[in-house]
Amino acid sequence: MNFNAGSRLMSDPFQNYLEDDEFGNTFTKRKSYIYVISKVFDNKRYYKVGMSTKSDISRMRDANTYLIPGQENYAYQVHYLFFFEESPFKTSFAQYIEKEIHAVLRHEFDSYSIRFLTNNPSEWYLPQKSNSSNNRRRTRRSQSGEDWFFGYVLGLIAVNQPKPREAYQFTKANRKDITKQVQNPTKQILRQYNQHKRDWRDVMKIVKIEKKLKKSERDERLGDVHFWRDKLIGLEFVDKDDKTRKNKTWVITEVEYESGKYINTYIVGYKIKGRGSVQDMKGYESQIVELFDKEKYPWFTTARLKKLGVYDKYLEWKKKQEID
């Protein structure tokens, strides 16, 4: 849908939340948001993911000031809007999650820094129409570059916390509420994007803990990469297929330590044993805490983790990433 601030389809979602306190007083709560837009220039459609800490539509209006001039390039299209609750921290939830999205998209898609009228650089993406080296996880060759790009954005939004309070998809003529879809992702989505999962409500607390831990202390309590590789690589575990309800056997093939700006963790890579779908054979990635959660993966019982010799260190990782 072309951006039009005067259209109620576009402007209504930007209203602040109204809530009542215990005394019956009504007050407003601001919300931050992430937007996905696109624009054609040089006969190619480029896509942008941006965010605003203000809950009004002004950030979207401001986009007109940095987009290139000319009648054929006048409008830009809005594809998605994701609205988040007001953050108790100085930094909004939308800002944290948008940074995580960009970190992944830059790895998977060609990005371009384009300068418009203000001469300020603006980052845009150009999804390819077919499989390419920077779209290596695509499993359906018929899927368009746009759909593949949107799939990444939706998947990353879905696995990060907090979830959007509201989410909308815009077609050429309508606005569709997709909040439930984003708040309740399928198991397939969780598998594919779980390695990017973050709970940004815990981030500041985790940062403080990380600063206090020296590396030697961390390795002793949490295990170093050699410890986890020795314990896990080659390990087989069983999980049920969502559709067929039949057991699938998976093999852990790699363990990597991921050091990030806000959180550090171990990423476990695993793939199906034998034949399966293209994605199953390419494999998936999960954080250790997620993989060892027996409610999601019942095979990883307490007894099995103790027998592997990883139970105590798993509890330390779980404690580090949980809310007190």
Q: Residues 222-275: pLDDT tens digits? A: 888 999 999 999 999 999 887 778 899 999 999 998 876 556 788 999 999 988
Which whole-number Å values give the CA distances from 234 to 79, 250, 308, in the listed order? 43, 10, 12
pLDDT tens string 63-90? 554 455 444 555 788 999 999 988 777 7
Radius of gyration of the chain (CA): 22
Domain ranges of the chain: 8-196, 209-321
| Prediction pTM value | 0.60
Residues 6+ apart with CB under 8 A from 258: 195, 264, 265, 266, 267
pLDDT tens string 180-209? 999 998 888 888 888 888 888 787 666 556
Closest CA to 250 of 279, 287, 280, 228: 280
Top-confidence residue, 27 or 238: 238
